[in-house]
């Protein structure tokens, strides 16, 4: 699956590694793991991210010194790796400049990935981009240090919701097991990620829960985070991460919808579902994408309009 990509790696010297805005554990863990893998075989590699690293991921090996938030205008790269991005645009404001680098290597597991780029390894059957990078390292015969194993384990852990989502299969556990054998410490990693909730996040959740709404007899649940709430508790976007999962965990809720006000009359809508309810299809209707149980889109308009349109779509599908 990775032979073409490994040829590019062999032939090149200097690589840029990047991922999507609104970083998650799979994005950062995958980037850092790949960067460390490339450096371990004597290549030059750096990570570019538009957004700052969320606090809960600062413990990851390399997070302090491998990630840059500005593109060096004079730098030359033999190739760029776009990881965990369903579209090149998800990189953010620099996606046009990065799109000018050749070749572009696209490694991802989103079902909506349109296989952009010159070379790609896209497998919607993989739990995470981290799992794909593990397979790539195996195919290449690269050694996995404890630091690399920690990054890849974190990528898999977070994208599977701690091995709870339907993307978790036997293969996920065998890869996770191999990473533990190579030095990833599950208890320590879980403590860094899950037992270090910032106070602003809890305060933001408190405000968001004031907007909680139910529909279809409690089978649909929604919440809103507005920019004003964010300002009131001095929260950053990362503090609203997982709110959609949180309200999906309510007994009887089959679909959760989490609205985030991004700018004036612009909302991000995150969907989570239980079981076979396909929210990817709903998000797709509004120009977004994702997976069956986790998807998102962006919509313009006033909150009431956006909420009405989205709720109507979910309610109609539920019938």
Q: Which residue number, 131 or 261, has a Cβ lying nearer to Mn ion?
A: 131
Q: Give the SS3 label for residue 46.
A: strand
Q: From CA 42, how far away is CA 31, in angstroms rounded? A: 17
Task: Work out whether 84 is an interface residue with Mn ion (CB under 5 A).
Answer: yes
Considering the rule CB under 5 A, would residue 123 count as an interface residue with Mn ion?
no
Cα–Cα distance, 133 to 136 (Å, whole number): 5
Cβ–Cβ under 8 Å, residues 117 and 88: yes
User: Looking at 81-89, 99-107, 236-244, 264-272, which segment touches Mn ion (CB under 5 A)?
Assistant: 81-89
Tell me the pairing of strands 294-300 and 289-290.
Answer: antiparallel
Residues 6 or more apart whose Cβ sits within 8 Å of residue 157? 25, 163, 176, 186, 189, 190, 193
Binding mask 27-66 for Mn ion (x = CB under 5 A): ----------------------------------------
Q: Shortest distance, CB of residue 227 to Mn ion, whole angstroms?
A: 26
Q: 3-class SS at 198?
A: coil
In whole angstroms, the minimum distance from the beta carbon of 163 to Mn ion comes to 14
- All residues at 6 or more sequence positions from 5 whose CB lies less than 8 Å from its CB, including other chains: 105, 107, 119, 121, 136
Could you tell me if 6 and 41 are in contact, meaning their C-beta atoms sit under 8 angstroms apart? Answer: no
Residue bearing tokens 């490994």: 6
Q: Kindly state the smallest distance separating residue 302's Cβ from Mn ion, in Å.
A: 31
Q: Does 26 bind Mn ion (CB under 5 A)?
A: yes
Q: Specify the residue, 222 or 290, whose C-beta has the smaller distance to Mn ion.
A: 290
Tell me the residue nearest to Mn ion as measured from the CB: 26
Number of residues lying near Mn ion (CB under 5 A): 5
Positive or negative, the CA dihedral 263, 70, 88, 156 is: negative
Q: Which stretch binds Mn ion (CB under 5 A): 123-131, 179-187, 231-239, 275-283?
A: 123-131
Of residues 150 through 169, those in contact with Mn ion by CB under 5 A are: 159
Binding to Mn ion, residues 290-309 (CB under 5 A):
none
Min CB(129)–Mn ion separation in Å: 5
The mark string for 186-225 relative to Mn ion (x by CB under 5 A, - otherwise) is ----------------------------------------
Of 34, 43, 38, 67, the residue nearest 133 (C-alpha): 34
User: Which letter, b or e, does each residue of 130-148 get, where b requires 16 or more Cβ atoms within 10 Å of its Cβ?
Assistant: bbbbbbbbeebebebbebb
Candidates 7-15, 67-75, 125-133, 163-171; binding stretch for Mn ion (CB under 5 A): 125-133
Residue 117 or 306: which CB sits closer to Mn ion? 117
* φ, ψ at 195 (rounded to 5°): -105, 35
Nearer to Mn ion, 238 or 261 (CB): 238
Per CB under 5 A, the segment of 119-127, 128-136, 224-232, 270-278 that binds Mn ion is 128-136
Query: Is 147 one of the binding residues for Mn ion (CB under 5 A)?
Result: no
Residues lying near Mn ion in the complex (CB under 5 A) are found at 26, 84, 128-129, 159
């Amino acid at each position: 699956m990775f032979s073409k990509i490994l040829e590019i790696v062999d032939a090149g010297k200097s690589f840029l590694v990047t991922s999507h805005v609104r970083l998650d554990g799979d994005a950062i863990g995958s980037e850092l793991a790949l960067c460390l893998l490339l450096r371990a075989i004597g290549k030059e590699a750096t990570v570019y991210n538009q957004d700052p690293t969320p606090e809960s991921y600062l413990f990851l090996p390399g997070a302090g010194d491998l990630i840059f938030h500005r593109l060096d205008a004079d730098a030359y790269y033999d190739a760029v790796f776009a990881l965990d991005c369903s579209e090149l645009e998800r990189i953010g404001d620099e996606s046009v400049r990065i799109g000018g680098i050749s070749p572009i290597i696209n490694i991802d597991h989103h079902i909506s990935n349109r296989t952009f780029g010159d070379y790609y390894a896209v497998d919607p059957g993989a739990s995470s981009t981290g799992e794909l990078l593990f397979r790539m390292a195996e195919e290449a015969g690269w050694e996995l240090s404890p630091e690399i194993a920690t990054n890849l384990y974190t990528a898999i852990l977070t994208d599977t919701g701690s091995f709870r989502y339907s993307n978790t299969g036997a293969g996920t556990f065998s890869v996770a097991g191999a990473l533990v054998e190579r030095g990833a410490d599950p208890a320590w990693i879980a403590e860094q990620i899950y037992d270090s909730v910032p106070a602003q996040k809890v305060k933001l959740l408190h405000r968001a829960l004031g907007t909680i709404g139910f529909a279809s007899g409690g089978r649909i649940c929604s919440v809103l985070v507005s920019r004003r709430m964010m300002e009131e508790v001095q929260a950053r976007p990362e503090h609203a991460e997982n709110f959609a999962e949180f309200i999906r965990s309510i007994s009887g809720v089959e679909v959760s919808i989490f609205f985030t006000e991004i700018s004036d009359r612009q909302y991000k809508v995150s969907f989570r579902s239980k079981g076979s309810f396909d929210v990817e299809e709903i998000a797709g209707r509004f120009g977004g994408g994702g997976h069956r149980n986790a998807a998102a889109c962006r919509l313009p308009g006033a909150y009431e309009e956006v909420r009405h349109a989205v709720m109507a779509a979910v309610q109609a599908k539920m019938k």
